[in-house]
């Protein structure tokens, strides 16, 4: 089975969850793959028959879905890869009645409009090793890549400022991370702090989802904690993470 290797900064939660999203979408296109992090989390390796990066990603039109949400700011989506679709609703709480604490978009932003714009910026011919590095100048982002947040801090956080257009956005990271957060959820440490773990041995998709949030005894991992910062008017952004510990193998409790 072909292997693809992507270099990443594991302290950037956007890049980590983008790798997870790549795993999710690859399994939709061609089930049976494995993935893991190598070099202490600095490289993501995915073994799959699917195309990397995925081609022809698209949104299922609202008219083709059942029901119509009353709040389009919380609208769940279906992201298609090939003839299969991944449901995206991680910005909703467990009962699907209100927003979740992970929800980052705010104000007039609507997930369908944001994701549609980001999809337009994707180049399916991007080589695998460049997926996490491609950037565009746009204000459209979920706020999942900490690099954009870092540049925005330098300009000021107001989403209405024209100057924020100068903050780079990484469209592949934003789209893939939005897909990754559906099945790979960070563990909530406090109201604004979360932990994720990079697994350092090949795992199937189901096992990897569990390892991300709650790695089991004996599984080699690296763990990171990040905060979600509020930037006004309901907008939030993921910040760079810190290493949660210096232990590379999760030991039994």
pLDDT digits (tens, 9 = 90+) for 152-192: 544 454 544 444 445 789 999 999 999 999 999 999 998 78
DSSP state of 251: P
Task: Output phi, psi for 211, to 5 deg.
Answer: -65, -35
Query: Measured between alpha carbons, how far is residue 152 from residues 37, 40, 104, 228, 231 in Å?
Result: 29, 29, 15, 14, 10
Share of the chain above pLDDT 70, in %: 86
Number of residues in the chain: 253
- List all residues 6 or more positions away from 149 whose beta carbon is below 8 Å from its beta carbon: 143, 229, 231, 237, 238, 239
pLDDT of 247 over the 70 cut: no
- Residue 23: pLDDT band with limits 50, 70, 90: very high
Nearest Cα to Cα of residue 131 among 168, 169, 171: 171
Task: Let me know: does 142 contact 114? Beta carbons within 8 Å.
Answer: yes
CA 147 and chain centroid, separation: 13
State pTM to two decimals: 0.90
């Amino acid at each position: 089975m072909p292997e693809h290797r992507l270099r990443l900064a594991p302290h950037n939660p956007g890049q980590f969850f983008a790798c997870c999203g790549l795993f999710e979408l690859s399994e939709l296109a061609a089930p049976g793959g494995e993935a893991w992090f190598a070099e202490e989390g600095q490289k993501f390796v995915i073994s799959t028959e699917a195309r990397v990066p995925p081609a022809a990603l698209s949104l299922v039109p609202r008219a083709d879905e059942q029901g119509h949400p009353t709040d389009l700011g919380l609208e769940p989506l279906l992201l298609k890869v090939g003839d299969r679709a991944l449901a995206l609703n991680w910005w909703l709480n467990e009962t699907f009645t209100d927003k979740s604490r992970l929800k980052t978009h705010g104000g007039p932003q609507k997930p369908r409009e944001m994701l549609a714009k980001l999809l337009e910026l994707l180049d399916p011919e991007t080589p695998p090793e460049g997926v996490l590095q491609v950037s565009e100048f746009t204000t459209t982002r979920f706020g999942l890549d900490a690099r954009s947040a870092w540049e925005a801090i330098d300009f000021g956080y107001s989403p209405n400022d024209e100057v924020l257009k100068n903050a780079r956005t990484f469209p592949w990271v934003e789209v893939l991370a939005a897909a990754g957060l559906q099945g790979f959820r960070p563990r909530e440490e406090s109201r604004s702090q979360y932990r994720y773990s990079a697994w350092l041995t090949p795992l199937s998709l189901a096992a990897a989802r569990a390892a991300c949030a709650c790695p089991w005894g004996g599984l080699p991992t690296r763990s990171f904690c990040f905060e979600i910062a509020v930037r006004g008017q309901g907008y939030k952004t993921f910040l760079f993470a810190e290493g949660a510990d210096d232990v590379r193998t999760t030991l039994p409790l």
